[in-house]
Amino acid sequence: MHTELQVLILTAITISCLHTVTGPDHYIPFIALSRVRGWKIGKTLAWTLLCGIAHVGSSVLLGLLGIGLGWSLSEISGVEDLRGGLAGWALLTFGLLYTIWGLKRAWSNKVHKHFDVYDNGDIYVYEHKHGKIVYPQERMKVTPWVMLIIFGLGPCEPLIPLLTYPAAQHSTYGMTLLIVSFTLFTLLTMTGMVLLGYYGFSVLKTSRLERYVHALGGLTILVCGIGMVYLGW
């Protein structure tokens, strides 16, 4: 396996784990639903995996944009020897811009999604800004099917640039390996966090990190891009 592909796969694994662990909405609702509805562990994990597959599926569809971009780079005539370099620079540029955007989003108190679990067992999802009052009519009661829709409409954007590099190399093997790695570790992390909560272990307190999830993803891609462009990874 080429060094570049190894670095990309490690980046994809890192992003999938960070994206999942720092987002309590990836596991807290499943833990709460299992307790409220008395689900067995099998049913809890089945819904977790189903929603996880919907989440990854939408991410992969979005990642097709990265494949299209990489394919476009590979079609530029006269720059055959520069294709890898162009893809590396694209990765670095996207990582830098995504990091800046993620930090700006974290510091500017943008609207974001929250899940609340009430004493009577009801679970509600709503969007708000910190300090804003959310009225009852602005909330939506969470059911397993609502969760499936939410996850299907919430892709992980950092997958886009990661697929640019193997696409520029016309490497179907590389693209497939990246997608499989991202999918596998996203689902493993989701089920791992749900299992911890289901059996009563305290899950990580990630509420403070949640607002920086985009910045962390961008920073991971930026490091990958810097390594490919300047360090010969």
Per residue in 19-55, pLDDT (tens digit) is: 888 877 788 888 888 887 888 999 999 999 999 999 8
In a domain, residue 134? The reply is no
In a domain, residue 188? The reply is yes
In a domain, residue 80? The reply is yes
How far apart (Å, rounded) are the C-alpha atoms in residues 157 and 106?
A: 16
Give the single-character DSSP code of 119. T
The terminus-to-terminus CA distance of the chain in angstroms comes to 13
Name, in order, each residue with C-beta under 8 angstroms of 70's C-beta and a sequence gap of 6 or more: 87, 90, 163, 164, 165, 166, 167, 168, 169
- ∠7-51-15 over CA atoms, to 5°? 20
In a domain, residue 213? The reply is yes
Domain extent, residue 39, equals: 3-107+145-230
In a domain, residue 115? The reply is no
Look at the chain and report how many structural domains it folds into: 1
Find where tokens 């943008």 sit.
110
Give the pLDDT confidence of 50-68 residue by residue, as tens digits. Answer: 999 998 888 888 888 777 7
In a domain, residue 173? The reply is yes
In a domain, residue 68? The reply is yes
| Tokens, residue 214 | 């985009």
CA distances from 53 to 64, 175, 189, 214, 227 (A): 16, 18, 13, 21, 31
Residue 137, CB-side half-sphere exposure with 13 Å CA sphere: 0
How far apart (Å, rounded) are the C-alpha atoms in residues 90 and 73?
A: 10
How far apart (Å, rounded) are the C-alpha atoms in residues 204 and 196?
A: 10
Enter the pTM of the model. 0.76
Which one has a higher pLDDT value, 82 or 16? 16
Give the pLDDT confidence of 114-155 residue by residue, as tens digits. Answer: 666 665 556 766 565 555 555 444 566 677 787 788 788 877
